[in-house]
Amino acid sequence: MGVLGIGLSYGAATLVAMFAGMPIAFALGAVALVFMAIFMPAASLDTVTQNVYEEMASITLLSIPLFILKGAAIGKSRAGQDLYSALHAWLHRIPGGLGVANVFACALFAAMAGSSPATCSAIGSAGIPEMRKRGYSGGFAAGIIAAGGTLGILLPPSITMILFAVAAEKSLGRLFLAGIGPGLLLVTLFGLYAVFRFRKEFAMAQAAYEKSGTESPILHRDDFTMAERFTMLPRVLPFVLLLTGVMIALYGGYATPSETAGLGGLLALALIALIYSVWRPSDLAPILQSTVRESTMLMLIIGMSLLYSYVMSYLHISQSAAESIVAMHLPRWELLAAILVMVVVLGFFLPPVSIILMTAPIILPPLRAADFDIIWFGVVMTIVMEMGLIHPPVGLNIFVIRNVAPDIPLSEVIWGTLPFVLLMMLAVLLLCFFPEISTWLPNLVMGPDGGR
């Protein structure tokens, strides 16, 4: 059987395993082992554990469980609710200020937790009931939290970016910095849409009131005194200090990414102990259990994805696919569009972790040959994968929101997220026309990146 036949069989077997309902890690590992047994020397099966260990023996990957610990420490406390309440108090005078507050709360929480589901759960549990109580539609409330949660894989520390840095063999610090500008761009776009959507819902509520006399809670405005606003500031400052301390340690050159992750985890535990009195073993148990559970799941997926990619490389599937793409002689922007469409399609079925580790060996060589900045592409690919978190059929954030607000119909949640998918597409276009949005900050802090 030729390389083309083996490659098609490999892809078909993977789809069959996944659609059969197998967990992603087991599906990838099972397919890799079967093809190793059929097409590779028998001795290769004896080195499976060694290969997986060598692929995962990266000091950068060590930071993943530590960042998860930091996110769990914050997510299992009342930090999300306090952060949201303080931002709402300061932004309530802006039209749609409650929605804007949710966007900023998601951004700040994502920058501390590095996880989209954790952000959706922590901010959504406080933000969605408050928005609905004040007359916002269920679809808008769910959509803005689901979209805001996607910032967890773009703003540093992002677990997805850690994996891309490993797969592309690029500087993690540079990649983290490259995500800040696009992250702020998305926060701005989401905030502007929140203002626009509020004005629309406010006008509809006002017209209904004038017509039928039915008064919606959205017509009422909250009011906070200056004293109340300043009283809420201490709830936010410790977590802003945590975020600032971690960023200074990482970008100031005082600590490696793994050391920074450990520092962030310890600081997060210290803060929740001091502020929320979470220090007893019974209080810490859910945090540690969540960390171990999520880390084990993620590292198992990473290990099996790396084995899957190793088999692809050994059988020359990835090299042949890359050569075929190059042989098509597509113009560089058409090449980029084709690759991003492929990522979108994969996002229908796979989480970002698997997409990166499975596709990197195939897509990075043609992109380097076309002289694309790989750091810039990593950010663009991350935004495209964010779309997969808020559109069906997988849409992980959609199902997190369903758990947080089960009374909102699934159809409303999906329709509520679609405008944000369009805003992400707009952000990708802006990054293509103005790549400096992503590259300016890392070049300023770390100097120009000479390699591709």
Share of the chain above pLDDT 70, in %: 94
Number of domains in the chain: 1
**Residue type at 383?**
I
349 pLDDT band, cuts 50/70/90, is low
| Residue in 385, 445, 394, 290 with CA at minimum distance from that of residue 19 | 394
| Residue in 185, 157, 224, 166 with CA at minimum distance from that of residue 361 | 166
Q: For residues 146 and 120, is the Cβ–Cβ distance under 8 A?
A: yes
Tell me the helix, strand and coil percentages in the chain, rounded to 5: 80, 0, 20
Cα–Cα distance for residue pair 343/350, rounded to 1 Å:
10
CA distances from 386 to 174, 364, 398 (A): 20, 19, 12
Report if residue 373 sits inside a domain.
no
Query: Please, what is the Cα angle at 132 between 128 and 138, to 5 degrees?
Result: 80
| Residue in 377, 312, 386, 307 with CA at minimum distance from that of residue 110 | 386
380 pLDDT band, cuts 50/70/90, is very high
Asked whether the CA dihedral 182, 183, 188, 191 is positive or negative, the reply is positive
Cα–Cα distance for residue pair 424/381, rounded to 1 Å:
11
Report if residue 330 sits inside a domain.
no
Please provide the distance, in angstroms rounded to a whole number, between the alpha carbons at the two ends of the chain: 35
**Residue written as tokens 């690029």?**
170
Residue 452 confidence (pLDDT): 55
The count of other CB atoms within 10 Å of the CB of residue 196 is 14
Q: For residues 40 and 271, is the Cβ–Cβ distance under 8 A?
A: no
Residue 185 confidence (pLDDT): 94
Residue 306 confidence (pLDDT): 78
178 pLDDT band, cuts 50/70/90, is very high
Range of the domain at 126: 61-301+390-419+429-446
Max Cα distance, the chain (Å): 79
Taking only the tens place, the pLDDT of each residue in 308-329 is: 878 877 888 776 776 777 777 7
Average pLDDT for residues 339-346, to the nearest whole number? 82
397 pLDDT band, cuts 50/70/90, is confident
Report if residue 255 sits inside a domain.
yes
Which SS3 state, helix, strand or coil, does residue 62 take? coil
Cα–Cα distance for residue pair 447/452, rounded to 1 Å:
14
Q: Among the ranges 109-118, 252-261, 364-373, which has the highest mean pLDDT value?
A: 364-373
Cα–Cα distance for residue pair 99/220, rounded to 1 Å:
15
Give the HSE-up count for residue 413: Cα atoms under 13 Å, Cβ half-sphere. Answer: 27
Q: For residues 417 and 353, is the Cβ–Cβ distance under 8 A?
A: no
Cα–Cα distance for residue pair 113/122, rounded to 1 Å:
10
The single-letter DSSP state of residue 391 is S
Query: Please, what is the Cα angle at 406 between 100 and 145, to 5 degrees?
Result: 20
Cα–Cα distance for residue pair 120/132, rounded to 1 Å:
16
**Residue written as tokens 């089960």?**
406
Average pLDDT for residues 104-118, to the nearest whole number? 75
Taking only the tens place, the pLDDT of each residue in 244-298 is: 777 777 767 777 777 887 888 888 888 888 888 888 888 888 888 888 887 887 7
| Residue in 413, 412, 401 with CA at minimum distance from that of residue 119 | 401
Q: For residues 409 and 133, is the Cβ–Cβ distance under 8 A?
A: no
421 has a pLDDT exceeding 80: yes
Average pLDDT for residues 97-102, to the nearest whole number? 82
376 pLDDT band, cuts 50/70/90, is very high
Residue 55 confidence (pLDDT): 67
Residue 182 confidence (pLDDT): 94
Q: For residues 135 and 219, is the Cβ–Cβ distance under 8 A?
A: yes
The count of other CB atoms within 10 Å of the CB of residue 11 is 14
How high does pLDDT run on average in the chain? 81
Taking only the tens place, the pLDDT of each residue in 121-146 is: 777 777 788 788 878 888 888 899 88
Residue 275 confidence (pLDDT): 81
Cα–Cα distance for residue pair 31/37, rounded to 1 Å:
10
What is the CA 214 to chain-centroid distance, rounded? 41
Length of the chain, in residues:
452
Cis, peptide link before residue 157, omega less than 30° from 0:
yes
Cα–Cα distance for residue pair 134/129, rounded to 1 Å:
9
Cα–Cα distance for residue pair 35/33, rounded to 1 Å:
6
196 pLDDT band, cuts 50/70/90, is very high
The reply to whether the predicted model has a pTM over 0.85 is no
Q: Among the ranges 194-198, 325-329, 389-393, 445-449, which has the highest mean pLDDT value?
A: 194-198
Report if residue 5 sits inside a domain.
no
Q: For residues 382 and 163, is the Cβ–Cβ distance under 8 A?
A: no
Residue 113 confidence (pLDDT): 66
